[in-house]
A and B are shown apart, each in its own frame.
Chain A
């Protein structure tokens, strides 16, 4: 009798870690993660899933009745010349913006990675571009590149270059202005990443290269650049994702114009959703963009890994 009770007790106390106490720990664990889970679920996951659902409907965001129309939005999208045009602009923009920002960032970071006076000032100035709001940035660039009153055309006239239409040009020129604008805005970010990576390069490697007779350019190419490759991969992926989602600068400067010359995917999506009230179609465009980002990023990781050197 006593033995069995004791046995029973022992058994129950043995079970305790997985039983009552375990449950309590599980519960407290849930209590800790619940707020974050709820918030992320509500404001992150739910809209993502909801827009996927929307992309299979003809929802217009207005009437409460929207019909399930299967993959019709996706079929329309494939044949929509405006989508392929916007896709083209997005890819051209990304192809110019990402390497451009990385090169400018690398150049500035290398130039700032030394001990000279007022370095704190230069570094702050470089990063300040990140702190400036996109609105002010766009306003300043609109005036810099104004065809009649802008300082850029003025400088062009001084050095004998032909006057440009810039944001008024329906050719690629308007998109180029946006590339320049965004490179300016994002280079500070690239500088910070590269500066941090540069400071992580062991001095002994650089000295060893010097002893082996490597010049400055050789050292940079053979030592610095490979050691910066993880930072480069990160920047390439990060900037690409942001570039594919370009919206603010377009919205603020050209509204996708002139004649659609700067209409990128996100801007087209916004137009469809909030001007034409085609929420279903806009959601399909959003998922197309998601797919593009997914594929591009996957390729970058694949290819990038081959050229990336991690010190362990």
Chain B
């Protein structure tokens, strides 16, 4: 799978460790040789040297514009696929080129975490890719980039069947009514649990109607400090990964993040309190929650049978070969109208303007790539959830489960995605304020009510434009 999703950032870092250069040496150069080493330097040699430099400089400048040849039938796509995804994608590209003579799709691997940065640079340099894979959380900011092609009419073309994409995907591909992308990937959160630990604790397995109080009680019973076993875990770097887990709870408790016009915080509510209290009970009162500031340790611990239940996405499943796990949809809050919901983190294919003919080639390719047949092929080869509802048939789900046990629960859970995060450019700052709120409650540093009030004030400040 390899779609480890990390938000607004990367676990892989640029390494700075190459700084141990030589200590400042005092004048190694000393006095320069009095006479030219070349002897009498003929002017021609100098000119040659300059010519070589100039040529290589020009060559370096020109190397980026290779895709301009081919009369608009040659396009470049930036994607971050590795492993099985890489193979499946390469296969699809080859198939497209074989069935569309004259079209050349060259793909360039770019680490997904850095694509926006690189696209920004490319746009500034006037030479963007024709298509780029961009995180959905960036969408409001991507919409600001010059050269992003509006696809609102493109997705209305006959045969595209835009409504076949899950509503969560369509929401994230649309910024202020303007479609800026075509869905590339979709996932969601559900509960992955260790069946053996449930059996050992004599607990019934979670059912589709379960509730958060039940989750909390199960977590308590699955916790055993003597053998360092935890009922559940929560990622606490305070990043978007911390935040979106909580947002699902907020929605299930019947709350919303912002008001309907996205101008004021709305989470300082009964629902906000219920969701934070639930987390606090587990982390502070029961100590049944393993807090993971690294955003990576929890998966290893679950695979080692040290954690009973995880709220996580389908991308983690392939990392649990050592445990017999089950998947259940998120529990609900009794007495609220939230029901069983989840949150989805879709990503987009975004088209950039490199002239009308290349835009057309890019649009045609991306519509083909996201057509039902290709979606099915890609999901079956990679275990990624299908980005179209029509793909999720019973036989398809069975095929998916055969490759990756219980992944079909995540597929059906896409139907529980009823809301999307606010599509506004200041969302990253809002996310930070909420991350701080959630972590301070989990670490027992603030009471839920106080934390909610503080975060709401901060968010209102950000929305008012003075954050």
Interfacial residues, chain A to chain B (CB-CB below 8 A):
21, 24-25, 27-28, 31-32, 34-35, 38, 60-64, 130, 133-135, 142-143, 146, 148-149, 167-168, 170, 174, 185, 189, 193, 234, 238, 242, 245, 247-248, 251-260, 271, 274-277
Known: A148-B290, A170-B445. 5 other contacts (CB 8 A): A167-B293, A193-B23, A252-B11, A258-B236, A277-B141
* Given A27-B43, A130-B17: A63 in contact with B293 (beta carbons within 8 A): no
B120 engages A168 (CB within 8 Å): no
Q: Which chain A residues lie closer than 8 Å to B440 at the CB level? A: 170, 259
Q: How far is the CA of A149 from the CA of B307 in the complex (A)?
A: 12
- Rounded to whole Å, the gap between the CB of A193 and the closest CB of chain B is 7
The complex places the Cα of A135 from the Cα of B16 at a distance, in Å, of: 11
A248 and B443 contact, CB distance less than 8 A? no
Q: Complex: how many Å from CA A170 to CA B306?
A: 25
B15 / chain A contacts, CB cutoff of 8 Å? 133-135, 248
In the bound complex, do residue A251 and residue B49 qualify as a contact, i.e. CB atoms below 8 Å apart?
no
Residues in B neighbouring A248, C-beta threshold 8 A? 13-17
- Tell me how far the C-beta of B370 lies from the nearest C-beta in chain A, rounded to whole angstroms: 25
Whether A257 pairs with B439 at a CB distance below 8 angstroms is: yes
Counting from the closest, the 6 A-B pairs by CB-CB distance are A255-B237, A31-B49, A62-B144, A27-B46, A257-B238, A275-B8
Task: Contact check, A133 vs B17: say whether CB atoms are below 8 A apart.
Answer: yes
Q: What would 17 A/B residue contacts be, using CB atoms closer than 8 Å?
A: A28-B38, A31-B53, A34-B53, A38-B53, A61-B117, A62-B145, A63-B146, A64-B123, A134-B13, A142-B294, A168-B293, A247-B13, A255-B9, A257-B236, A275-B9, A276-B428, A276-B432
Does B65 lie at the interface of the complex (its beta carbon under 8 Å from any beta carbon of A)? no
B436 an interface residue at 8 Å Cβ cutoff? yes
Given A63, A238, A259, which contacts B436 in the complex, CB threshold below 8 Å? A259
With a CB–CB cut-off of 8 A, which chain A residues contact B145?
A: 62-63
B336 contacts partner chain A, Cβ-Cβ < 8 Å: no
What CA separation (Å) do A277 and B295 show in the bound complex? 23
A28 touches B46 (CB 8 A): yes
Within 8 A of A (CB), among B141-163: 141-142, 144-146
Known contacts: A63-B145, A245-B16, A255-B239. The answer to whether A24 contacts B46 by CB under 8 A is yes
What residues of A have a CB within 8 angstroms of the CB of B41 in the complex? 24-25, 28
Are A28 and B36 touching (Cβ within 8 A)? yes
Q: Report chain B residues within 8 Å CB of A167.
A: 293-294
Interface residues of chain A: helix, strand, loop or mixed (majority) = helix
Question: Contacts of A276 on B, CB cut-off 8 Å?
Answer: 428-429, 432
Q: Are A255 and B295 in contact (CB under 8 A)?
A: yes
Contact A60 B144 (CB under 8 A): yes
> Residues of A contacting B429 with CB < 8 Å?
276
Is the CB–CB distance between A275 and B432 below 8 Å? yes
- A61–B301 Cα distance when bound, in Å, is 39
Q: Complex: how many Å from CA A277 to CA B20?
A: 31
- Residue-wise interface mask of B (213-243) relative to A, using a CB-CB cutoff of 8 A (1 in contact, 0 not): 0000000000000001010000011110000
Contact A253 B9 (CB under 8 A): no
Could you tell me if B301 and A149 are in contact, using CB atoms closer than 8 angstroms? yes
A62 to B425, CA, bound (A): 11
Report the nearest A residue to B114, measured CB to CB. Answer: A274
> A258's contact among B13, B238, B295, B428, by CB below 8 Å, is which?
B238
Q: Does B260 contact A (CB under 8 A)?
A: no
Q: Check A149–B228 contact: CB distance below 8 A.
A: yes
Task: Please tell me if the beta carbons of A259 and B445 are within 8 angstroms of each other in the complex.
Answer: yes
Q: Give every chain B residue within 8 A of A189 (Cβ-Cβ).
A: 20
Q: How far is the CA of A196 from the CA of B145 in the complex (A)?
A: 53
Q: How far is the CA of A275 from the CA of B435 in the complex (A)?
A: 13
| Cα A277 to Cα B250 with chains together (Å) | 27
Instruction: Verify if B124 is at the interface (C-beta below 8 Å from A).
Output: yes
Q: Please tell me which one of the listed residues B17, B301, B439 contacts residue A259 in the complex, with CB atoms under 8 A apart.
A: B439
Kindly identify, within residues 267 to 315 of chain B, every residue whose CB is under 8 Å from any CB belonging to chain A. Answer: 290-291, 293-295, 297, 301, 306
Query: Closest residue to A133 on the B side, CB-wise?
Result: B15
Whether B402 is near chain A, meaning CB under 8 Å from some CB there, is: no
Interface centre among A60, A167, A276 (most CB of B within 10 A): A276
Task: Check B17 against A258 for contact (C-beta < 8 Å).
Answer: no
Shortest C-beta distance, B331 to chain A (Å), equals 25
- Minimum CB distance partner of B120 in chain A: A61
Residue of A60, A62, A146 most packed against chain B (CB within 10 A): A62
Say whether B57 faces chain A, with CB atoms less than 8 Å apart. yes
A193 to B45, CA, bound (A): 44
Q: Is the CB of A168 within 8 A of B144?
A: no
Residues in A neighbouring B16, C-beta threshold 8 A: 134, 242, 245, 247-248
Known contacts being A28-B45, A31-B46, A167-B294, is A254 close to B144, with CB within 8 Å?
A: no
Q: CA A133 – CA B13 in complex, angstroms?
A: 11
Q: Which residues of B contact A28 (CB under 8 A)?
A: 36, 38, 41, 45-46, 49
* A193 CA / B291 CA spacing, docked (Å): 40
Tell me the complex Cα distance, A256–B293, Å: 10
A-side contacts of B146, CB under 8 Å: 63-64
* B50 lies within 8 A of chain A by Cβ: yes
For residue B443, give the distance in angstroms from its CB to the closest CB of chain A. Answer: 6
Query: A242 to chain B: which residues have CB within 8 Å?
Result: 16, 19
How distant is A188 from chain B, measured CB to nearest CB, in Å?
A: 9
Chain A residues in 8 Å Cβ range of B439: 170, 257-259
Is B12 in contact with chain A by the CB < 8 A criterion?
A: yes
Q: Considering the complex, which residues of chain B in the window 358-399 have a beta carbon less than 8 Å from any beta carbon of chain A?
A: none
Contact yes or no, A260 B117, CB < 8 A = no
Tell me which residues across on chain A come within 8 A of B57, comparing CB atoms: 38
CB of A148 within 8 A of CB of B228, answer yes
Residue of A at shortest CB range from B123?
A64
Question: In the complex the two chains form, what is the Cα distance from A189 to B21 in whole Å?
Answer: 11
The answer for the CA separation of A309 and B428 in the assembled complex, in Å, is: 52
Most A CB contacts (10 A, CB to CB) among B12, B49, B146, B436 go to B49
Contact with A along B417-449 (1 / 0, CB 8 A): 000000001001100100010011001010000
Contacts of A62 in B (CB 8 A): 120, 141-142, 144-145
Interface residues of B in 15-70 (CB under 8 A from A): 15-17, 19-20, 23-24, 36, 38, 40-43, 45-46, 49-50, 53, 57
Contacts of A60 in B (CB 8 A): 141, 144
Residues of A within 8 A of B43 (CB): 24, 27
The minimal Cβ–Cβ distance linking A77 to chain B, given in whole angstroms, is: 15
Q: A130-B17, A133-B15, A274-B8 are in contact. Are A255 and B238 (CB under 8 A)?
A: yes
Which residues from A are CB-within-8-Å of B8? 274-275
Interface pair B443/A168, CB less than 8 Å apart: yes
Which chain A residues lie closer than 8 Å to B238 at the CB level? 255-260
- Give the complex CA separation of A44 and B120 in angstroms: 20
How far apart sit A107 and B95, CA to CA, in the bound complex (Å)? 64
Task: Determine the distance from Cα of A105 to Cα of B144 in the docked complex, in whole angstroms.
Answer: 51
Query: Taking CB as reference atom, which chain B residue is nearest A142?
Result: B294
* Bound-state Cα–Cα, A23 to B459, Å: 65
Known: A25-B41, A27-B46, A274-B117. A64 touches B124 (CB 8 A): yes
Given contacts A31-B46, A62-B120, contact A274 B294 (CB under 8 A): no
